[in-house]
A and B are shown apart, each in its own frame.
Chain A
Amino acid sequence: MTDYDVVVVGGGPAGLAAALSARRSGAGRVLVVERDCELGGILNQCVHNGFGLITFHEELTGPEYAARFEDAAQEAGVEFLLDATVLDVAADRSVTFVSARRGVRCVRAGAVVLAMGCRERPAGALALPGFRPAGVYTAGCAQRLANREGLLVGREVVILGSGDIGLIMARRLTLEGAHVACVAELMPYSSGLKRNVVQCLDDFGIPLLLSHTVTRVDGRRRVEAVEVSRVDEAGVPIPGTGQTYPCDTLLLSVGLLPENELSRSAGVALSPVTRGPIVDDSLMTSVPGVFACGNVLHVHDLVDYVSQEAERAGASAAAFAASGGSSAGMRLSVRAEGGVRYTVPQVIDVSRMPERLEVRLRVDGVYEHRVLVAHLGGRCVARRRRDILVPGEMEQIVLRREDLAGASPSDSLVICLEEA
C-alpha cells in the first residue's frame, strides 16, 4: 500500500516539470517535497531573461518560467510540501522527511523522482593561496544576495571562472554600480554560453582572460587584491606572469556539482563523470522505481532541457507506479568515446525505448567541423554534423528504435566524434 503514486524530491524546475508530467500521465497522488519556503528553486534568483525559448517560444526571466510550471502543477492537482527536508530515500521507495511544523514523517511511494539539483563548487575546494578574508563569494551566493536580499557584495570585483552564473553576475554587479575588473578562466575557452559572454562581458567592456587563474588573495580581514596569472597548457600558473588587481571582492564561478547525498544513501549507482545517477532511457536509476532528472542527474546549461528531461522522468515514474515496473528487456550500454565526455542515458532498453530517443551529451574540448556518430556493433545508427562543439553547451543525438532493433546483448552502442 502506498501513500503517493509519485514523490518528487525537490521543487525546482526539474521537480515541478516532473510532478506535472506525472499527473498528466495518470498518476493519482503526486507529492513534491521542497526544503525552501517557496517553489521554483534557483530560478527565483535568476532574474535575467533568456529562459523558455524552446518551451514557450518566448524569452522569459527565471521567476516567470518557474511561475508557469508552478501554476500548471497546482492546476494539475500536484500536492506540495514546503519547508520540508528529505532525510532519506530508501530502496523500497519510502521517503522520510522532516519539517518544523510536522516533525519527521515517512511516506511510501509507488515511484520516486530525484530532482535535488546541484550546488556550487565552494572556495574550500580550490586551494586558493592566501588567508581566508571576507569578500570571497560563490557567484550564486552573490546573486541571491543581490537579487533576493538587495545586498551588493562589493564595489571592485574580480571573477574567477567563466561559468554562466559568473558571467551573469559580472553584468548584474556592473548594473548595480560595481566595477568588474576581469573574469579569469583557467581553460582556453569559456565554460559559459556564448550569448552570456557577449551580453554580460563584451557589452560592458569586461575582459575575459582565458588560460588565467587566481594565484594569490591578499588581505587578512577583507579581500584587498588578487593576483591573476597566465597558466600553461597543463593549467599550471606561469611564474612571472602575475598581475595584481586591487579589489574588495572575489567571485567564484568554477563549476556545479550534482547534489547526490540522498541518491547515494538510497544505493543509486553514480557516474564518476557526471557525478549524477546512471540512468536508462526512462531516466530510471539503478534502483527500480527511483528516477532522476535535472541538475542532480547532470548539470544543464538550459532550463528548457531540464524541463524536457523532467517531463520524461515524471511520465516514466507514473508508468512505473501504475504497473510496478515492466520486466527488463534487452539492455544496451552506451559508451562515450573519442571526444564525447559522457552521455545521458548510459543504458538503453531497446524493447521499451521510445521511437525517437534523444541522447544528451557533452564533449571534452572545442571541436570544429565534426560529426557526432552512434555506432552499434560496427554499424552507424545515427550521425549529426556539427560546425562547432564546445564543452559549455550540451549536445544531443537522436536514436531511432527501428535502428537499434537488431542489437544483440553483446553489442555496445558507442557515441563519439569523427572528422567531417
Chain B
Amino acid sequence: MAEKNAQILTCIRCPRGCQVSVAVDGDGQVLSVSGNLCARGDAYARAEVTNPVRTVTTTVPVKGGGAARVSVKTAREVPKGAVMDVMRALAGVTACAPVEIGDVVVPDIAGTGVDLVATSRA
C-alpha cells in the first residue's frame, strides 16, 4: 500500500485563507481534502499539490502613449514553474499605443499557450 502524506496549504482563492489539509498517496494521487470552507478551496488544494498555477502580472514599456509603461497579465494562469520563463520572455518586449484593456501584447508567451494581455490603457 502506498504511503500516505498530508500537506497543509493556505488557500488563496479568497481573503479568508482557509488552512486546507491535503492527503496524498505515494503516487501523488490526492486521497482527501479537508479544512476548506467552499468548493474553490477543494479545487485550489488539489491543483496546488498536483499542478500549481499562477497568474503573472507585470508591466512593459509602451511607445507612443502618454505613459512610460503599460500593465499586463497572463490571460490565464500558467504553471508555477513557468513564471520566471514568462518574465524572461518579456525582456525586450515593447507595446505600441494605443493599447486597450484586454489587447494581446504577446501571444502564447514563453510557449505556455497563454496570451499576455494589457490590463490598462495607453
Contact of B15 (CB < 8 Å), options: A49, A67, A203, A393: A393
B95-122 vs A, Cβ < 8 Å mask (1 yes, 0 no): 0000001000000000000000001110
Interface contact A48-B15, CB-CB below 8 Å: no
Answer whether residue B31 sits at the interface, using C-beta atoms and an 8 A cutoff.
Answer: no
Interface contact A47-B10, CB-CB below 8 Å: no
Give the CA-CA distance A147 to B61 in the complex, in Å: 10
Given the interface pairs A63-B119, A64-B120, A198-B10, the reply to whether A148 lies near B15 with Cβ below 8 Å is no
Interface contact A195-B54, CB-CB below 8 Å: no
Closest-by-CB residue of B relative to A150 is B69
Contact of B59 (CB < 8 Å), options: A59, A147, A302: A147
Given the interface pairs A47-B119, A63-B71, A147-B71, the reply to whether A53 lies near B14 with Cβ below 8 Å is yes
Most chain-B CB neighbours within 10 Å: which of A60, A148, A195, A203?
A195
> Which residues of the other chain, B, contact A49 by a CB distance below 8 angstroms?
55, 57, 73
Answer whether residue A193 sits at the interface, using C-beta atoms and an 8 A cutoff.
Answer: yes
Closest-by-CB residue of B relative to A71 is B101
Answer whether residue B67 sits at the interface, using C-beta atoms and an 8 A cutoff.
Answer: yes
> Which residues of the other chain, B, contact A147 by a CB distance below 8 angstroms?
59, 69, 71
Kindly provide the distance from the CB of A265 to the nearest chain B CB, expressed in whole angstroms. Answer: 33
Answer whether residue A199 sits at the interface, using C-beta atoms and an 8 A cutoff.
Answer: yes
Closest-by-CB residue of B relative to A61 is B119
Give the CA-CA distance A154 to B12 in the complex, in Å: 29
B1-28 vs A, Cβ < 8 Å mask (1 yes, 0 no): 0000000011010110100000000000
> Which residues of the other chain, A, contact B119 by a CB distance below 8 angstroms?
47, 60-61, 63-64
Interface residues of A in 217-268 (CB under 8 A from B): none
Closest-by-CB residue of B relative to A37 is B66
Interface contact A61-B15, CB-CB below 8 Å: no
Answer whether residue B58 sits at the interface, using C-beta atoms and an 8 A cutoff.
Answer: yes
Answer whether residue B87 sits at the interface, using C-beta atoms and an 8 A cutoff.
Answer: yes
Interface residues of B in 44-96 (CB under 8 A from A): 54-59, 61, 67-69, 71-73, 80, 83-84, 87
> Which residues of the other chain, A, contact B71 by a CB distance below 8 angstroms?
47, 61-63, 147
Closest-by-CB residue of A relative to B88 is A177
Interface contact B15-A150, CB-CB below 8 Å: no
Answer whether residue A402 sits at the interface, using C-beta atoms and an 8 A cutoff.
Answer: no
Contact of B101 (CB < 8 Å), options: A64, A198, A301, A393: A64
Give the CA-CA distance A175 to B56 in the complex, in Å: 9
Interface contact A301-B58, CB-CB below 8 Å: no
Interface contact A302-B120, CB-CB below 8 Å: no
Closest-by-CB residue of A relative to B87 is A175
Most chain-B CB neighbours within 10 Å: which of A148, A175, A393?
A175
> Which residues of the other chain, B, contact A44 by a CB distance below 8 angstroms?
120
Interface contact A148-B69, CB-CB below 8 Å: yes
Given the interface pairs A61-B57, A147-B69, the reply to whether A301 lies near B120 with Cβ below 8 Å is no
Besides the contacts A53-B14, A63-B119, A198-B17, what 4 more A-B pairs have beta carbons closer than 8 Å? A44-B120, A60-B119, A147-B69, A176-B87
A residues touching B (Cβ–Cβ < 8 Å)?
44, 47-49, 53, 59-64, 67, 146-150, 172, 175-176, 193-195, 197-199, 203, 301-302, 393
B residues touching A (Cβ–Cβ < 8 Å)?
9-10, 12, 14-15, 17, 54-59, 61, 67-69, 71-73, 80, 83-84, 87, 101, 119-121
Instruction: Give 28 pairs: A residue, B residue, CB < 8 Å, sorted on A.
Output: A44-B120, A47-B59, A48-B57, A49-B57, A59-B55, A60-B119, A61-B57, A61-B73, A62-B71, A64-B101, A64-B119, A67-B101, A67-B120, A147-B69, A148-B59, A148-B67, A150-B69, A175-B56, A175-B87, A176-B87, A193-B15, A193-B17, A194-B10, A198-B12, A198-B17, A203-B80, A301-B15, A302-B15
Which 4 residue pairs spanning A and B have beta carbons closest together?
Answer: A194-B17, A195-B12, A63-B120, A47-B71
